[in-house]
Structure 1
Amino acid sequence: MIHNRSSMRRALRTATASAVIVGLSFALAPVAASAADAGTGWLRLGHLSPDTKSVDVEVTTPDGATVLELNGVSYGEVSPYSELQVGTYTVSMVPAESSAATAPVISAEIEVPATSATTVVAYGPSTDLEVKAVDDDLAAPTAGLGRVRLFQASTITDSVDVETSTGLPIAKDAAAGTVTDYAEIPAGSWTLELTGGKGDATSDVDVAAGSVSTLFVLDTADGGLTILPIVDSAAVGDSPLGGVQTGGGGTAPRDFFSTIGGRGEGTGAFE
């Protein structure tokens, strides 16, 4: 069982409005474990609702046993992967520091498949908050390339286009709440150009050879857009030394969360 509330709280870093990600390197995101035995899978959690205040997140089994707790999760934070037994779980979110009797503001059942990685996020405006589970394909890219995909989580535009400054397309008309397929691009430093609605943005990212990454499109504090790169797996096939090195259960030797953005504390339903 993974259950260490105090150590996760100490390790949590809160995103601030000044923590805009433009220029953030893939290398700063957590390294994902890609190998689990036949009875386990990988799960990570994220808060992508810009006007929702910090939340406490709980993952429980059908009989109510808690297997994972994350406290004070702010907008623009994504946890590393945690290894869980295969099965059905309920992910519940309540306002941060709520009492144990507080009813969840939102909850959803999710599946953790065997030897697979899953990302579960809360996204959308606080008045229409949704939970989305996404399968993460950690298969190795072709030698010398990296694999990237786009998660369109912005609430201020219906769709976005992303391409490199050299004209290589990453995503076209990506609708809000959707996730594109992974695409392979040559390893190296890239400038990505984002267009959507009234907002345009650029982001410089480093794509490491052999890496698998997700580009999250989020809102910024000034009403713009930003691209937030998070590594799904920096070395596919290599398990972290000593087990789940960057996972839950108090085993993380570094900051537990990868801070990915932009607007800090929300002002919506969790006030």
Structure 2
Amino acid sequence: MSGRLILRRLGAFGAVLSVAAAVCAIDTAPAAAAAPVGYVRLAHLSPDTPDVDVYLSTVGGTGAPQVFPGVGYGVVSKYLPLPTGTYAVSMRLAGAPATDPPVLTTNVTVADGKAYSVAGVGKHADLGLKVIDDDLSPPPSGKAKVRVVQASVRAPVLNLSIAGGASIASNVSFATTTDYLQVQPGRWTLRAEGVNGGPAGTLGVHLDSGNVYSVLVLDAKNGGLSAELRLDAAGMGKPPTGGVQTGAGGTSRSPLSRVPAGIGALAGTGVVVLLCVAGLVAYQRRRQLASR
């Protein structure tokens, strides 16, 4: 092989490497800033209302809504991360056609980094959808934050306290939510009780330092009250995310969608470079054998 031909082939090979390097540089560049998101969770807090199908869609959008079927009383979803914007939340009786007018509908405007609970509240006769602003900011060091979500008809007004100890919230009316209160972390027995000797219920809880919680007070199936603890945010105010745990609603992503975009292109570039190297080596080998 002449020196000039070798130089031409090396130049071509160098050009391939330059293209590969450029592609690698593009694909390994820092990712663009993530789009702003907020968080929404859904709740059914009406004790005499049957199961509902919940629809979540963008206002003015063209995409199909997310549908969460068969959501029953006492269900509170995890937070759904959503791009900022305005969303419509509507409820239909479970199994009703999507073309039926919703029983309830409301809008929630999602701001960057903010969290909201959209809950069906009240008795069935005057059922409404309520948008609750959730303050997920972490408590001071060595503290936890707790609030009360009052969803019991049996105790239209109730008190929540640490059993045998301090009061957490007093005179909490049905279909209301208290502000968050800073408390000492640890193991506690909480007692929810209707005022003036009404029905009562207890709940053993372990509150971790730095976490934010809601105590949900419900009508128990066997009479009396039941209390349930919901984690609103852990550590530095990060909400747990996911879908509504009942039904098959929400969207899912293939594991492939979690592969960084640059890896696929980088792998393709690597194949091109290897093929070019292999081809050049094979050609040189054939030339050497032919000249012997």
Task: Kindly provide the amino acid, as one letter, of the partner of residue 212 in structure 1.
Answer: V
The change in CA–CA distance for 1:160 and 1:101 in structure 2 (over 3 A counts) is same
Partner in structure 1 of residue 211 of structure 2: 211
Name 1:42's counterpart in structure 2.
39
Describe the shift of the 1:238–1:121 C-alpha distance in structure 2 as closer, same or farther (beyond 3 A).
closer
Cα deviation for residue 250 of structure 1 reads 2.6
CA spacing shift, 1:239–1:127, aligned 2, 3 Å: closer
Identify the residue that residue 227 of structure 1 maps to in structure 2.
227
1:233-265 Cα deviation digits (max 9, x unpaired): 12225577xxx56685236x9xxxxxxxxxxxx
Query: Per the alignment, do residues 245 and 76 of structure 1 end up closer, same or farther by CA in structure 2, a change over 3 Å counting?
Result: closer
Q: Which residue of 1 aligns with 2:60?
A: 63
Structure 1: gaps (5+ residues): 1-35, 254-271
The reply to whether residue 145 of structure 1 matches residue 147 of structure 2 is no
1:1-271 matches, within 5 Å, as 39-63=36-60, 65-197=63-195, 198-237=198-237, 244=241, 248-250=250-252
Deviation at 1:69, TM superposition (A): 1.9
Displacement after TM superposition at 1:63 (Å) = 1.9
Q: Is the 8 A contact 2:189 2:205 kept in 1?
A: yes
Equivalent position amino acid for 2:148 in 1: L
State the alpha-carbon separation in 1 of the partners of residues 112 and 214 from structure 2.
Answer: 21
Give 3-state SS (helix, strand or coil) of 1:127's partner: helix
Could you tell me which amino acid in structure 2 is paired with residue 207 of structure 1?
L
Mapped partners of 2:243, 2:236: distance in 1: 15
TM-score by length of 1: 0.72
> Which residue in 2 is equivalent to 1:31?
none
RMSD (CA atoms): 2.3
Ranked by relative contact order (alpha carbons within 8 Å, sequence separation 6 or more), the top structure is 1
The 8 Å contact of residues 38 and 115 in structure 1, kept in 2 or not, is answered as no
Q: Distance in 2 between matches of 1:239 and 1:160?
A: 28
Kept after mapping to 1: 8 A contact 2:79/2:242 = no
**Which segments of 5 or more consecutive residues in structure 2 lack a partner in the other structure?**
1-32, 245-249, 256-292
Number of residues of Structure 1 aligned to a counterpart in Structure 2: 214
Q: Structure 2: how far apart are the matches of 1:97 and 1:201?
A: 33
Question: Which letter maps to 1:227?
Answer: A
Determine which structure has more spread, i.e. the larger CA radius of gyration. 2
Distance 1:238 1:220, change over 3 A: closer
